[in-house]
Structure 1
């Protein structure tokens, strides 16, 4: 190996022959990693002399009295992220800190702050990559899938929740569920797809996935839904990952002569006002965004104060809200 190449988590993963997420879980003794795999990763880390980025980042400067928050620009239009931001603001105020919002423009620079929060960071986002290299203590909401390791992570088990949602749909009579989801730029979207694929494998169901861009428009979501519903055999349930998209599919269902809740079970991976206001109201996953934002901020302050070790991972609970869009034909 060239001595000029920095040893990163990705380097360790490549040496051990595992994914970056598996390597991270093995080094942190978290997640579902076998003893054999964990031993391979630890051996690779030792051979390479890998030291987590967070080990030498902290307590080297006076407090600025502020923390920074970055979310991708496309997400600022989301009800989820507006509430996530409010959660961070409230926690920062409780610690007598201001909040600096970091934009995604080409002239964006690393701000003068004590630490950073990155909400569901996108792999390939140049601003995220710059912030991850800044040397500032960093907490991410969900794992970063690019080359860089945060000092703290607040995660939710989206794969398990997707399995719970699919179990509910199966109980209501659905046996051919389809999924609309973005690619693997974020850990959230990757977790949803993994949960869907694992459930289909367990139940012998065909995997029917409509892939969309992360910043998908409602028109694009409708086009993908039309394609899925035109397939034979037609799906009897449709799960929409992009925020707000499930509530925008009524025209597509009407064109196909379908009624949500009876002819087709409809569910969303993100709760929001449009899910509650839809006709019928849409079953959705409540990600508790305000609490998630507060949890990220609290973890950052714990790391800054030496009350949490770099590499800490905390689990944020989420829940399934069942509504009329998945009532189905099974007896209630």
Structure 2
């Protein structure tokens, strides 16, 4: 007859095992394992019962053993546009991913080619459908969450996106309320969904207000010199321009010297705004009205959605909207 007292699952000094979780949820060890990993044919009710039992018992998986038994690596991959890694938006996005991944007990590896190391899932920021690296990653057979929508043939497992159409419409309406009647738009020449959405929105807004579009495009990641050249040509050819909206991160601050050299005064006879807020917008003279895209929150939300997808808590095709806000500053206070 045993003389020792029975072990309490999850009690002090006795960490709960997968067998304890299975017993507590009334399922087999295989079903409990599948439910915790988000794999296999497990009903939602069973999965929730297993997750609840695991939380109640304080179950913590043995990662080393789990990695030997399965393909789970506790690592996710991240891809961002390679030549824009110094842009403030993308750096804030990366920090958001890294912070949320750390909270979830995950490692993050940055990938710049279509060849992936062994990872559990993938986050792709601003995916461009004509980019062969992005195409390879989207077709790698892994769960993929994209930051902004993907216009290619392969549907991501999940997407976190922002309503750029509404935000730009609000910005253009704000400029009109401040007296602007001939707003120009300096777009990024790229196939990313957010860029195309901005261009369509600007063109539609001009049509609705019986205004001739003044649309100029600059290469994606263009240097300040290229951006200043585009604005200089615009103001020389269209001196009636009374507002300029720049799509790219940092572009509005970069073109300020060109606007001044053309004899225009920002915030008085020319309004200036940006579709991406940053430190450069906040510290410019005058400070520039911009749309806060909340990149750090975007990165964190992408990790949350990927984790829920891997755990089977979010179905394939889940789309979530991240709110964004217009920050009005002196550059549009005419």
TM (norm. structure 2) is 0.78
**Selected match of 1:241 from 247, 265, 272:** 247
**Selected match of 1:59 from 34, 39, 43:** 39
Matched residue, 1:293: 299
Indicate yes or no: 2:218 matched with 1:212: yes
Structure-1 separation of matches of 2:254 and 2:239: 23
**Selected match of 1:317 from 295, 319, 323:** 323
Q: CA deviation at 1:123?
A: 2.3
Query: 8 Å contact 2:164–2:197 — kept in the other structure?
Result: yes
Matched residue, 1:139: 145
Q: CA deviation at 1:59?
A: 3.3
Structure-2 separation of matches of 1:59 and 1:115: 13
Indicate yes or no: 2:170 matched with 1:160: no
User: Map of 1:9-20 to 2, 5 A cutoff?
Assistant: none
Deviations 1:102-135 (A, max 9, x none): 124xxx5112110000011122222111111100
Structure-2 separation of matches of 1:103 and 1:65: 20
Secondary structure of the corresponding residue to residue 209 of structure 1 = strand
Indicate yes or no: 2:126 matched with 1:120: yes
Q: CA deviation at 1:75?
A: 2.0
Matched residue, 1:95: 104
- The RMSD of aligned alpha carbons is 1.3
Secondary structure of the corresponding residue to residue 110 of structure 1 = coil
Deviations 1:152-209 (A, max 9, x none): 0001011111100000000100010000011341011111112111211111111110
Structure-2 separation of matches of 1:268 and 1:110: 35
Q: CA deviation at 1:233?
A: 5.0
**Selected match of 1:170 from 173, 176, 181:** 176
Superposition misfits of 4+ residues, deviation over 6 angstroms: none
Structure-1 separation of matches of 2:157 and 2:119: 15
Secondary structure of the corresponding residue to residue 252 of structure 1 = helix
Query: 8 Å contact 2:190–2:219 — kept in the other structure?
Result: no
Structure-2 separation of matches of 1:167 and 1:259: 21
Matched residue, 2:59: none
Deviations 1:287-316 (A, max 9, x none): 000000001111111111111100000001
Query: 8 Å contact 1:92–1:99 — kept in the other structure?
Result: yes
Query: 8 Å contact 1:163–1:195 — kept in the other structure?
Result: yes
- Computing the radius of gyration from Cα coordinates, the structure with the larger value is 2
Query: 8 Å contact 2:94–2:296 — kept in the other structure?
Result: yes
Deviations 1:226-266 (A, max 9, x none): 11111245210000011101101122112210111001000
Matched residue, 1:223: 229
Matched residue, 1:84: 93
Structure-2 separation of matches of 1:317 and 1:176: 28
**Selected match of 1:181 from 165, 179, 187:** 187
Query: 8 Å contact 2:129–2:152 — kept in the other structure?
Result: yes
Structure-1 separation of matches of 2:145 and 2:238: 45
